Structure 1
Protein backbone atom coordinates (compact mmCIF):
# COMPACT_ATOMS: atom_id res chain seq x y z
CA UNK A 1 0.00 0.00 0.00
CA UNK A 2 1.51 3.34 -1.01
CA UNK A 3 1.12 5.98 1.67
CA UNK A 4 0.75 9.73 1.20
CA UNK A 5 3.51 11.81 2.82
CA UNK A 6 1.29 12.63 5.81
CA UNK A 7 0.87 11.44 9.37
CA UNK A 8 -2.28 9.42 8.62
CA UNK A 9 -2.65 6.29 10.72
CA UNK A 10 -5.28 3.60 10.32
CA UNK A 11 -6.75 2.16 13.49
CA UNK A 12 -5.67 -1.45 13.91
CA UNK A 13 -9.11 -2.44 15.19
CA UNK A 14 -10.88 -0.97 12.15
CA UNK A 15 -11.73 -4.25 10.43
CA UNK A 16 -14.73 -5.71 8.66
CA UNK A 17 -14.91 -8.51 11.23
CA UNK A 18 -15.54 -6.26 14.22
CA UNK A 19 -18.04 -3.93 12.54
CA UNK A 20 -21.45 -4.55 14.12
CA UNK A 21 -23.91 -4.30 11.23
CA UNK A 22 -27.25 -4.39 13.04
CA UNK A 23 -29.65 -3.96 10.10
CA UNK A 24 -29.83 -6.02 6.91
CA UNK A 25 -29.06 -2.87 4.94
CA UNK A 26 -25.77 -2.41 6.77
CA UNK A 27 -24.95 -6.08 6.11
CA UNK A 28 -25.47 -5.51 2.38
CA UNK A 29 -23.14 -2.49 2.46
CA UNK A 30 -20.49 -4.50 4.30
CA UNK A 31 -20.73 -7.26 1.70
CA UNK A 32 -20.34 -4.75 -1.13
CA UNK A 33 -17.27 -3.21 0.49
CA UNK A 34 -15.74 -6.64 1.07
CA UNK A 35 -16.16 -7.45 -2.62
CA UNK A 36 -14.53 -4.16 -3.58
CA UNK A 37 -11.66 -4.93 -1.19
CA UNK A 38 -11.08 -8.11 -3.20
CA UNK A 39 -10.51 -6.00 -6.31
CA UNK A 40 -14.03 -5.67 -7.73
CA UNK A 41 -14.18 -2.10 -9.06
CA UNK A 42 -16.94 -0.05 -7.47
CA UNK A 43 -18.07 3.52 -6.75
CA UNK A 44 -19.73 3.71 -3.32
CA UNK A 45 -21.01 6.71 -1.36
CA UNK A 46 -22.00 5.96 2.22
CA UNK A 47 -23.39 8.43 4.71
CA UNK A 48 -24.72 8.58 8.24
CA UNK A 49 -24.73 10.50 11.48
CA UNK A 50 -21.60 10.64 13.67
CA UNK A 51 -20.82 7.36 15.37
CA UNK A 52 -22.40 5.10 12.75
CA UNK A 53 -19.02 3.76 11.62
CA UNK A 54 -18.24 5.65 8.43
CA UNK A 55 -14.53 6.06 9.17
CA UNK A 56 -14.34 2.52 10.55
CA UNK A 57 -15.61 1.10 7.27
CA UNK A 58 -13.31 3.18 5.06
CA UNK A 59 -10.28 2.29 7.16
CA UNK A 60 -11.30 -1.37 7.18
CA UNK A 61 -11.62 -1.26 3.39
CA UNK A 62 -8.18 0.33 3.04
CA UNK A 63 -6.50 -2.27 5.23
CA UNK A 64 -8.25 -5.25 3.64
CA UNK A 65 -7.59 -3.98 0.12
CA UNK A 66 -3.90 -3.61 0.93
CA UNK A 67 -3.75 -7.13 2.41
CA UNK A 68 -5.68 -8.78 -0.42
CA UNK A 69 -3.98 -6.87 -3.25
CA UNK A 70 -0.44 -6.06 -2.04
CA UNK A 71 0.69 -4.99 -5.51
CA UNK A 72 -2.15 -2.49 -5.96
CA UNK A 73 -2.25 1.06 -4.64
CA UNK A 74 -4.91 2.26 -2.19
CA UNK A 75 -5.18 5.67 -0.53
CA UNK A 76 -7.18 6.82 2.50
CA UNK A 77 -7.82 10.57 2.87
CA UNK A 78 -9.55 11.83 6.04
CA UNK A 79 -10.55 15.35 5.02
CA UNK A 80 -10.54 16.43 8.67
CA UNK A 81 -6.72 16.34 8.43
CA UNK A 82 -5.65 19.97 8.10
CA UNK A 83 -2.49 18.97 6.22
CA UNK A 84 -4.51 17.84 3.23
CA UNK A 85 -4.87 20.32 0.38
CA UNK A 86 -6.66 19.99 -2.98
CA UNK A 87 -3.39 19.79 -4.95
CA UNK A 88 -2.61 16.47 -3.26
CA UNK A 89 -5.58 14.86 -5.00
CA UNK A 90 -4.04 15.32 -8.45
CA UNK A 91 -1.78 12.28 -8.22
CA UNK A 92 -4.41 9.92 -6.86
CA UNK A 93 -5.66 8.93 -10.30
CA UNK A 94 -2.66 6.60 -10.40
CA UNK A 95 -4.05 4.64 -7.43
CA UNK A 96 -6.29 1.60 -7.91
CA UNK A 97 -8.64 2.52 -5.05
CA UNK A 98 -9.21 5.79 -3.18
CA UNK A 99 -11.18 6.42 0.02
CA UNK A 100 -12.37 9.97 0.78
CA UNK A 101 -13.53 10.24 4.40
CA UNK A 102 -15.61 13.17 5.64
CA UNK A 103 -16.71 14.59 2.29
CA UNK A 104 -18.87 17.22 4.00
CA UNK A 105 -15.71 19.12 4.94
CA UNK A 106 -15.06 20.11 1.32
CA UNK A 107 -18.61 21.23 0.50
CA UNK A 108 -18.63 24.85 -0.69
CA UNK A 109 -14.88 24.90 -1.29
CA UNK A 110 -14.52 25.25 -5.04
CA UNK A 111 -10.88 24.11 -5.12
CA UNK A 112 -11.69 20.92 -3.24
CA UNK A 113 -14.85 20.27 -5.23
CA UNK A 114 -12.99 20.70 -8.53
CA UNK A 115 -10.16 18.41 -7.44
CA UNK A 116 -12.57 15.66 -6.36
CA UNK A 117 -14.69 16.09 -9.50
CA UNK A 118 -11.61 15.52 -11.65
CA UNK A 119 -10.52 12.56 -9.54
CA UNK A 120 -13.95 10.98 -9.88
CA UNK A 121 -13.84 11.25 -13.67
CA UNK A 122 -10.29 9.91 -13.89
CA UNK A 123 -10.94 6.89 -11.68
CA UNK A 124 -14.21 6.15 -13.47
CA UNK A 125 -12.58 6.24 -16.89
CA UNK A 126 -9.91 3.81 -15.71
CA UNK A 127 -12.38 1.38 -14.14
CA UNK A 128 -10.99 1.85 -10.64
CA UNK A 129 -12.60 2.14 -7.20
CA UNK A 130 -13.75 5.19 -5.25
CA UNK A 131 -15.30 5.05 -1.77
CA UNK A 132 -16.66 8.27 -0.24
CA UNK A 133 -18.18 8.87 3.18
CA UNK A 134 -20.26 11.88 4.10
CA UNK A 135 -22.69 13.17 6.70
CA UNK A 136 -25.55 13.57 4.21
CA UNK A 137 -26.80 12.07 0.96
CA UNK A 138 -25.44 13.72 -2.22
CA UNK A 139 -28.83 15.25 -3.01
CA UNK A 140 -28.75 17.19 0.29
CA UNK A 141 -25.27 18.66 -0.22
CA UNK A 142 -24.98 22.36 -1.09
CA UNK A 143 -22.22 21.94 -3.64
CA UNK A 144 -20.77 24.70 -5.77
CA UNK A 145 -20.31 22.34 -8.72
CA UNK A 146 -23.63 20.93 -9.93
CA UNK A 147 -21.76 18.38 -12.05
CA UNK A 148 -20.09 16.98 -8.94
CA UNK A 149 -23.48 16.45 -7.30
CA UNK A 150 -24.67 14.54 -10.38
CA UNK A 151 -21.53 12.36 -10.30
CA UNK A 152 -21.98 11.55 -6.61
CA UNK A 153 -25.66 10.80 -7.17
CA UNK A 154 -24.68 8.20 -9.77
CA UNK A 155 -22.67 6.21 -7.21
CA UNK A 156 -24.09 3.35 -5.17
CA UNK A 157 -25.56 5.40 -2.29
CA UNK A 158 -26.06 3.77 1.08
CA UNK A 159 -27.32 5.26 4.33
CA UNK A 160 -25.72 3.60 7.34
CA UNK A 161 -28.51 2.75 9.76
CA UNK A 162 -27.92 3.60 13.45
CA UNK A 163 -27.62 0.64 15.79
CA UNK A 164 -30.45 -0.36 18.10
CA UNK A 165 -29.80 -0.36 21.86
CA UNK A 166 -29.33 -4.14 21.72
CA UNK A 167 -26.73 -3.74 18.98
CA UNK A 168 -24.98 -0.99 20.93
CA UNK A 169 -24.84 -3.27 23.96
CA UNK A 170 -23.32 -6.00 21.82
CA UNK A 171 -20.77 -3.55 20.44
CA UNK A 172 -19.59 -2.13 23.77
CA UNK A 173 -19.38 -5.65 25.19
CA UNK A 174 -17.29 -6.68 22.19
CA UNK A 175 -15.00 -3.67 22.61
CA UNK A 176 -14.73 -4.39 26.35
CA UNK A 177 -13.73 -7.99 25.63
CA UNK A 178 -11.02 -6.78 23.24
CA UNK A 179 -9.63 -4.78 26.17
CA UNK A 180 -9.72 -7.79 28.46
CA UNK A 181 -12.75 -6.48 30.38
CA UNK A 182 -15.87 -8.38 31.31
CA UNK A 183 -18.96 -6.25 30.75
CA UNK A 184 -22.05 -8.10 31.91
CA UNK A 185 -25.48 -7.58 30.38
CA UNK A 186 -26.57 -5.94 33.64
CA UNK A 187 -23.76 -3.37 33.62
CA UNK A 188 -24.04 -2.76 29.86
CA UNK A 189 -27.78 -2.12 30.13
CA UNK A 190 -27.14 0.20 33.09
CA UNK A 191 -24.70 2.24 30.99
CA UNK A 192 -27.13 2.45 28.09
CA UNK A 193 -29.92 3.63 30.39
CA UNK A 194 -27.83 6.27 32.18
CA UNK A 195 -25.49 7.64 29.53
CA UNK A 196 -25.72 9.32 26.14
CA UNK A 197 -26.46 6.69 23.53
CA UNK A 198 -24.20 7.89 20.71
CA UNK A 199 -21.31 5.53 20.07
CA UNK A 200 -18.45 8.05 20.36
CA UNK A 201 -19.63 8.86 23.89
CA UNK A 202 -20.16 5.20 24.83
CA UNK A 203 -16.72 4.19 23.56
CA UNK A 204 -15.08 7.14 25.30
CA UNK A 205 -16.81 6.10 28.51
CA UNK A 206 -15.50 2.55 28.04
CA UNK A 207 -11.98 3.95 27.73
CA UNK A 208 -12.43 5.76 31.06
CA UNK A 209 -13.72 2.61 32.75
CA UNK A 210 -10.88 0.54 31.33
CA UNK A 211 -8.26 2.86 32.79
CA UNK A 212 -10.03 3.04 36.15
CA UNK A 213 -10.47 -0.73 36.30
CA UNK A 214 -6.80 -1.32 35.53
CA UNK A 215 -5.66 1.22 38.10
CA UNK A 216 -7.97 0.02 40.86
CA UNK A 217 -7.77 -3.66 39.91
CA UNK A 218 -11.56 -3.80 40.07
CA UNK A 219 -14.17 -5.60 37.99
CA UNK A 220 -16.81 -3.56 36.21
CA UNK A 221 -19.76 -3.65 38.59
CA UNK A 222 -22.60 -1.16 38.81
CA UNK A 223 -21.32 0.38 42.08
CA UNK A 224 -17.82 0.76 40.59
CA UNK A 225 -19.19 2.28 37.37
CA UNK A 226 -21.27 4.74 39.39
CA UNK A 227 -18.18 5.74 41.34
CA UNK A 228 -15.94 6.22 38.29
CA UNK A 229 -18.53 8.06 36.20
CA UNK A 230 -19.89 9.99 39.20
CA UNK A 231 -23.45 8.89 38.57
Structure 2
Protein backbone atom coordinates (compact mmCIF):
# COMPACT_ATOMS: atom_id res chain seq x y z
CA UNK A 1 0.00 0.00 0.00
CA UNK A 2 1.29 3.47 -0.90
CA UNK A 3 2.08 5.53 2.17
CA UNK A 4 0.75 9.08 2.14
CA UNK A 5 3.29 11.72 3.16
CA UNK A 6 2.52 14.28 5.83
CA UNK A 7 2.64 17.70 4.17
CA UNK A 8 4.46 19.49 6.96
CA UNK A 9 6.29 22.62 5.81
CA UNK A 10 8.63 24.08 8.38
CA UNK A 11 9.35 27.79 8.02
CA UNK A 12 12.55 28.75 6.29
CA UNK A 13 15.18 29.55 8.96
CA UNK A 14 16.28 33.16 8.91
CA UNK A 15 18.70 33.35 11.80
CA UNK A 16 22.36 34.31 11.77
CA UNK A 17 23.23 30.73 12.71
CA UNK A 18 21.55 29.52 9.52
CA UNK A 19 23.40 31.88 7.19
CA UNK A 20 26.32 30.46 5.26
CA UNK A 21 28.83 33.30 5.64
CA UNK A 22 31.34 32.33 2.95
CA UNK A 23 32.91 35.47 1.47
CA UNK A 24 30.48 37.79 3.31
CA UNK A 25 32.12 38.00 6.73
CA UNK A 26 32.45 41.80 6.78
CA UNK A 27 28.77 42.33 5.96
CA UNK A 28 27.74 39.62 8.43
CA UNK A 29 29.68 41.21 11.29
CA UNK A 30 28.37 44.72 10.51
CA UNK A 31 24.75 43.54 10.55
CA UNK A 32 25.24 41.45 13.68
CA UNK A 33 26.71 44.48 15.46
CA UNK A 34 23.64 46.54 14.54
CA UNK A 35 21.32 43.81 15.76
CA UNK A 36 23.22 43.65 19.05
CA UNK A 37 22.92 47.42 19.48
CA UNK A 38 26.66 47.89 19.04
CA UNK A 39 26.86 49.15 15.46
CA UNK A 40 27.82 52.74 14.72
CA UNK A 41 26.72 52.93 11.07
CA UNK A 42 23.23 54.28 10.38
CA UNK A 43 22.94 53.25 6.72
CA UNK A 44 23.88 49.87 5.23
CA UNK A 45 23.09 48.73 1.69
CA UNK A 46 23.37 45.14 0.46
CA UNK A 47 23.37 44.17 -3.18
CA UNK A 48 23.80 41.00 -5.18
CA UNK A 49 22.09 38.60 -7.53
CA UNK A 50 18.92 36.74 -6.60
CA UNK A 51 19.37 33.83 -4.22
CA UNK A 52 22.59 34.91 -2.48
CA UNK A 53 20.83 35.55 0.86
CA UNK A 54 20.02 39.26 1.08
CA UNK A 55 16.54 38.62 2.46
CA UNK A 56 17.97 36.06 4.88
CA UNK A 57 20.43 38.62 6.26
CA UNK A 58 17.81 41.36 6.56
CA UNK A 59 15.34 39.15 8.41
CA UNK A 60 18.02 37.59 10.58
CA UNK A 61 19.13 41.08 11.63
CA UNK A 62 15.58 42.11 12.50
CA UNK A 63 14.94 38.89 14.44
CA UNK A 64 18.12 39.24 16.49
CA UNK A 65 17.43 42.92 17.18
CA UNK A 66 13.94 42.06 18.44
CA UNK A 67 15.43 39.41 20.72
CA UNK A 68 17.50 42.20 22.26
CA UNK A 69 14.37 44.27 22.84
CA UNK A 70 14.89 46.68 19.95
CA UNK A 71 12.00 47.93 17.81
CA UNK A 72 12.93 46.44 14.44
CA UNK A 73 10.75 46.20 11.34
CA UNK A 74 11.20 44.52 7.96
CA UNK A 75 9.58 45.70 4.73
CA UNK A 76 9.64 44.12 1.29
CA UNK A 77 9.06 46.92 -1.21
CA UNK A 78 7.92 44.37 -3.79
CA UNK A 79 4.87 43.45 -1.70
CA UNK A 80 4.38 46.05 1.04
CA UNK A 81 4.14 49.83 0.87
CA UNK A 82 6.27 51.87 3.23
CA UNK A 83 3.95 53.77 5.51
CA UNK A 84 3.67 55.55 8.83
CA UNK A 85 4.42 52.33 10.71
CA UNK A 86 7.99 52.51 9.41
CA UNK A 87 8.69 55.59 11.53
CA UNK A 88 9.92 55.27 15.09
CA UNK A 89 11.77 51.96 14.76
CA UNK A 90 15.30 51.66 16.09
CA UNK A 91 16.20 49.42 13.19
CA UNK A 92 14.57 49.22 9.76
CA UNK A 93 15.11 46.83 6.87
CA UNK A 94 13.82 47.54 3.36
CA UNK A 95 14.28 44.87 0.70
CA UNK A 96 13.85 45.23 -3.10
CA UNK A 97 14.39 48.99 -3.15
CA UNK A 98 14.50 48.72 -6.94
CA UNK A 99 10.73 48.05 -6.80
CA UNK A 100 9.87 51.41 -5.21
CA UNK A 101 7.57 53.66 -7.21
CA UNK A 102 7.98 57.43 -7.40
CA UNK A 103 5.97 58.08 -4.25
CA UNK A 104 7.61 55.46 -2.07
CA UNK A 105 11.06 56.56 -3.23
CA UNK A 106 10.31 59.89 -1.57
CA UNK A 107 9.12 58.05 1.55
CA UNK A 108 12.34 56.01 1.74
CA UNK A 109 14.47 59.13 1.22
CA UNK A 110 12.73 60.70 4.22
CA UNK A 111 13.11 57.55 6.30
CA UNK A 112 16.86 57.39 5.71
CA UNK A 113 17.22 61.01 6.84
CA UNK A 114 14.95 60.45 9.84
CA UNK A 115 16.85 57.35 10.99
CA UNK A 116 20.14 59.23 10.82
CA UNK A 117 18.79 62.21 12.75
CA UNK A 118 17.40 59.91 15.47
CA UNK A 119 20.61 57.95 15.82
CA UNK A 120 18.78 54.88 14.54
CA UNK A 121 19.70 52.65 11.59
CA UNK A 122 18.30 51.43 8.30
CA UNK A 123 19.44 48.48 6.17
CA UNK A 124 18.39 48.24 2.53
CA UNK A 125 18.93 45.76 -0.26
CA UNK A 126 18.63 45.55 -4.02
CA UNK A 127 20.02 43.69 -7.02
CA UNK A 128 22.61 46.29 -8.07
CA UNK A 129 25.00 48.87 -6.57
CA UNK A 130 23.24 52.12 -5.62
CA UNK A 131 24.33 54.16 -8.62
CA UNK A 132 23.14 51.49 -11.08
CA UNK A 133 19.58 51.44 -9.77
CA UNK A 134 16.81 53.18 -11.74
CA UNK A 135 15.86 55.44 -8.84
CA UNK A 136 15.94 59.15 -8.04
CA UNK A 137 19.48 60.46 -8.00
CA UNK A 138 19.18 61.83 -4.46
CA UNK A 139 17.92 58.44 -3.22
CA UNK A 140 20.76 56.58 -4.96
CA UNK A 141 23.18 58.93 -3.21
CA UNK A 142 21.56 58.20 0.16
CA UNK A 143 21.70 54.45 -0.44
CA UNK A 144 25.44 54.68 -1.02
CA UNK A 145 26.12 57.10 1.82
CA UNK A 146 26.94 54.41 4.38
CA UNK A 147 28.39 50.93 4.18
CA UNK A 148 27.80 49.11 0.89
CA UNK A 149 28.35 45.35 0.64
CA UNK A 150 28.08 43.00 -2.31
CA UNK A 151 26.64 39.72 -1.03
CA UNK A 152 28.33 36.90 -2.89
CA UNK A 153 27.27 33.25 -3.18
CA UNK A 154 29.15 30.58 -1.20
CA UNK A 155 31.06 27.73 -2.82
CA UNK A 156 29.07 24.71 -3.99
CA UNK A 157 30.57 22.38 -1.39
CA UNK A 158 29.48 24.75 1.38
CA UNK A 159 25.97 24.92 -0.10
CA UNK A 160 25.76 21.13 -0.11
CA UNK A 161 26.79 20.97 3.55
CA UNK A 162 24.23 23.59 4.56
CA UNK A 163 21.51 21.92 2.48
CA UNK A 164 22.11 18.65 4.35
CA UNK A 165 22.07 20.52 7.67
CA UNK A 166 18.72 22.14 6.83
CA UNK A 167 17.29 18.80 5.70
CA UNK A 168 18.33 17.08 8.94
CA UNK A 169 16.82 19.96 10.94
CA UNK A 170 13.53 19.13 9.20
CA UNK A 171 13.87 15.44 10.12
CA UNK A 172 15.01 14.43 6.63
CA UNK A 173 18.07 12.15 6.62
CA UNK A 174 19.79 12.55 3.27
CA UNK A 175 23.12 11.32 1.96
CA UNK A 176 25.74 13.95 1.24
CA UNK A 177 26.04 12.75 -2.36
CA UNK A 178 22.38 13.70 -2.95
CA UNK A 179 22.99 17.23 -1.70
CA UNK A 180 26.12 17.63 -3.80
CA UNK A 181 24.29 16.39 -6.89
CA UNK A 182 21.35 18.75 -6.35
CA UNK A 183 23.65 21.75 -5.93
CA UNK A 184 25.53 21.02 -9.15
CA UNK A 185 22.58 19.88 -11.29
CA UNK A 186 19.66 21.99 -10.06
CA UNK A 187 19.14 25.58 -8.93
CA UNK A 188 22.01 27.00 -6.91
CA UNK A 189 19.51 29.06 -4.86
CA UNK A 190 19.55 27.52 -1.37
CA UNK A 191 15.92 28.36 -0.65
CA UNK A 192 14.79 26.68 -3.89
CA UNK A 193 17.04 23.68 -3.19
CA UNK A 194 15.62 23.33 0.31
CA UNK A 195 12.05 23.33 -1.03
CA UNK A 196 13.01 20.79 -3.70
CA UNK A 197 14.62 18.51 -1.12
CA UNK A 198 11.46 18.75 1.04
CA UNK A 199 9.36 17.70 -1.96
CA UNK A 200 11.73 14.84 -2.79
CA UNK A 201 11.57 13.64 0.81
CA UNK A 202 7.77 13.59 0.70
CA UNK A 203 7.82 11.76 -2.64
CA UNK A 204 10.26 9.15 -1.29
CA UNK A 205 8.07 8.64 1.78
CA UNK A 206 4.97 8.19 -0.39
CA UNK A 207 6.81 5.65 -2.55
CA UNK A 208 8.22 3.83 0.47
CA UNK A 209 11.75 4.25 -0.82
CA UNK A 210 14.90 5.77 0.69
CA UNK A 211 15.96 9.20 -0.50
CA UNK A 212 18.93 8.08 -2.56
CA UNK A 213 20.56 9.58 -5.63
CA UNK A 214 18.99 7.00 -8.00
CA UNK A 215 15.55 7.82 -6.58
CA UNK A 216 16.17 11.58 -6.94
CA UNK A 217 17.23 11.19 -10.58
CA UNK A 218 14.23 9.00 -11.31
CA UNK A 219 11.76 11.37 -9.66
CA UNK A 220 13.13 14.39 -11.49
CA UNK A 221 13.36 12.56 -14.82
CA UNK A 222 9.73 11.46 -14.52
CA UNK A 223 8.62 14.99 -13.53
CA UNK A 224 7.13 13.43 -10.42
CA UNK A 225 7.45 16.73 -8.59
CA UNK A 226 5.92 18.99 -11.22
CA UNK A 227 2.70 19.47 -9.25
CA UNK A 228 4.12 18.93 -5.77
CA UNK A 229 6.96 21.42 -5.50
CA UNK A 230 5.92 24.77 -3.94
CA UNK A 231 6.00 27.71 -6.27
CA UNK A 232 9.00 30.05 -6.41
CA UNK A 233 9.55 32.37 -3.49
CA UNK A 234 11.87 35.28 -3.17
CA UNK A 235 15.09 34.31 -1.45
CA UNK A 236 17.17 37.20 -2.48
Shared fold (TM-score greater than 0.5)?
Answer: yes
> Which of 33, 36, 39 is matched with 1:35 structurally?
33
Contact 2:92-2:121 at 8 Å conserved across structures: yes
Partner of residue 97, structure 1: 91
Deviation at 1:223, TM superposition (A): 1.6
Aligned residue for 1:17, secondary structure, equals: helix
- For the residues of structure 1 that align with 2:61 and 2:196, how far apart are their CA atoms? 27
TM score, norm. by length of structure 2: 0.82
* Runs of 5+ unmatched residues, structure 1: 1-10
Q: In the superposition, relative to structure 1, how do residues 211 and 132 fare at CA in structure 2: closer, same or farther (>3 Å)?
A: same
Contact 1:48-1:135 at 8 Å conserved across structures: yes
- For the residues of structure 1 that align with 2:183 and 2:37, how far apart are their CA atoms? 39
Aligned residue for 2:74, secondary structure, equals: strand
Deviation at 1:200, TM superposition (A): 4.0
Q: In the superposition, relative to structure 1, how do residues 192 and 73 fare at CA in structure 2: closer, same or farther (>3 Å)?
A: closer
Q: Does 1:85 align with 2:85?
A: no
- For the residues of structure 2 that align with 1:112 and 1:200, how far apart are their CA atoms? 28
Deviation at 1:49, TM superposition (A): 0.8
> Which of 210, 213, 220 is matched with 2:211 structurally?
220
Higher helix share: 1
Q: 1:1-231 alignment to 2 at 5 Å?
A: 13-23=13-23, 26-41=24-39, 42=41, 43-69=43-69, 72-81=70-79, 84-86=80-82, 88=83, 90-106=84-100, 109-143=101-135, 145-230=136-221
Partner of residue 7, structure 1: none
- For the residues of structure 2 that align with 1:94 and 1:186, how far apart are their CA atoms? 49
Deviation at 1:185, TM superposition (A): 2.4
Contact 2:167-2:194 at 8 Å conserved across structures: no
Contact 1:101-1:134 at 8 Å conserved across structures: yes
User: How many pairs align?
Assistant: 210
- For the residues of structure 1 that align with 2:109 and 2:16, how far apart are their CA atoms? 28
**Structure of greater relative contact order (alpha carbons < 8 Å, 6+ residues apart):** 2
Deviation at 1:36, TM superposition (A): 0.4
Deviation at 1:167, TM superposition (A): 1.5
Deviation at 1:217, TM superposition (A): 4.1
What do you get for the CA RMSD once the two structures are aligned?
1.8
